[in-house]
């Protein structure tokens, strides 16, 4: 399980929003110069990210805005989410191109390009639908592990 610490910025009846600070590990990666993620981290390093977190075993009444919390994301969620986000649009694009090419063989290239575009858009829509349908699924979302006591927080100089 991947564990991250953050600060509660908003509460909902069934979830809370946690602010986390992005930290880059790209300095230790061998593909530092050839990776787009490394470039994005150099541009956005130190910026905050907001994560919607479902309440886990921790009671919702114990959380308040500005509390420090520890959240957890199972590795399977990240793997499954990556496959859905990256592979589903790609497979839909290829299926759209192949389908349009077989339906309109007279203008094969134009049909394939149009079918690929339609398939890609359909893939993006399916990813969005999947995210919407699983927004309350505890197996597919980050969960609250614990509210950190005030004494356990690191002291930062002002």
Consecutive 10-residue averages of pLDDT for the chain (158 residues): 85 85 59 52 60 73 82 84 92 95 87 95 96 81 81 57
pLDDT score of 22: 60
**107-117 tens-digit pLDDT:** 878 999 999 99
d(CA 10, CA 17): 5
Q: Are strands 2-11 and 143-147 parallel, antiparallel or unpaired?
A: unpaired
Question: Residue 58: what pLDDT?
Answer: 62
38 contacts 25 by C-beta, under 8 angstroms: no
pLDDT at 140: 79
Return the pLDDT at 84: 92
- Quick: pLDDT tens for 120-152: 999 999 999 998 898 777 777 888 888 887 665
- pLDDT of the residue at 98: 94
Tell me how far apart the alpha carbons of residues 148 and 102 are, in angstroms, rounded to a whole number: 59
Cα atoms in the 13 Å half-sphere on the side-chain side of 28: 3
Q: Residue 123: exposed, middle, or buried by beta-carbon count in 10 A (0-12, 13-18, 19+)? A: buried
Long-range contacts of the stretch 81-86 (C-beta < 8 A, 24+): 81/140, 84/127, 84/130, 85/127
Position 88 scores a pLDDT of 95
Domain boundary assignment for the chain: 1-73+141-158, 75-138
**Based on the number of CB atoms within 10 Å of its own CB, is 104 exposed (0-12), middle (13-18) or buried (19 or more)?**
middle
**CA 144, CA 3: separation in Å to the nearest integer?**
10
pLDDT at 121: 97
Amino acid 40: pLDDT: 46
Closest among 12, 142, 137 to 70, alpha carbons compared: 142
CATH of region 1-73+141-158 = 2.40.50.140
């Amino acid at each position: 399980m991947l564990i991250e610490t953050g600060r509660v910025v908003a509460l909902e009846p069934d979830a809370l929003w946690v602010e986390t600070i992005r930290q880059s590990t790209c300095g230790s990666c061998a593909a530092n110069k050839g990776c787009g993620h490394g470039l994005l981290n150099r541009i956005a390093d130190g910026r905050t990210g907001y994560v919607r977190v479902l309440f886990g075993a921790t009671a919702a009444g114990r959380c308040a805005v500005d509390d420090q919390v520890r959240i957890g994301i199972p590795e399977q969620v990240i793997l499954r989410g990556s496959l859905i986000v990256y592979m589903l649009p790609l497979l839909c694009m290829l299926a759209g191109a192949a389908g349009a090419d077989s339906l309109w063989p007279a203008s094969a290239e134009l049909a394939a390009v149009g079918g690929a575009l339609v398939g890609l858009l359909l893939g993006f829509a399916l990813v969005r639908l999947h995210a919407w349908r699983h927004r309350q699924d505890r197996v597919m979302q980050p969960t609250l592990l614990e509210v950190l006591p005030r004494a356990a927080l690191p002291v930062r100089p002002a």
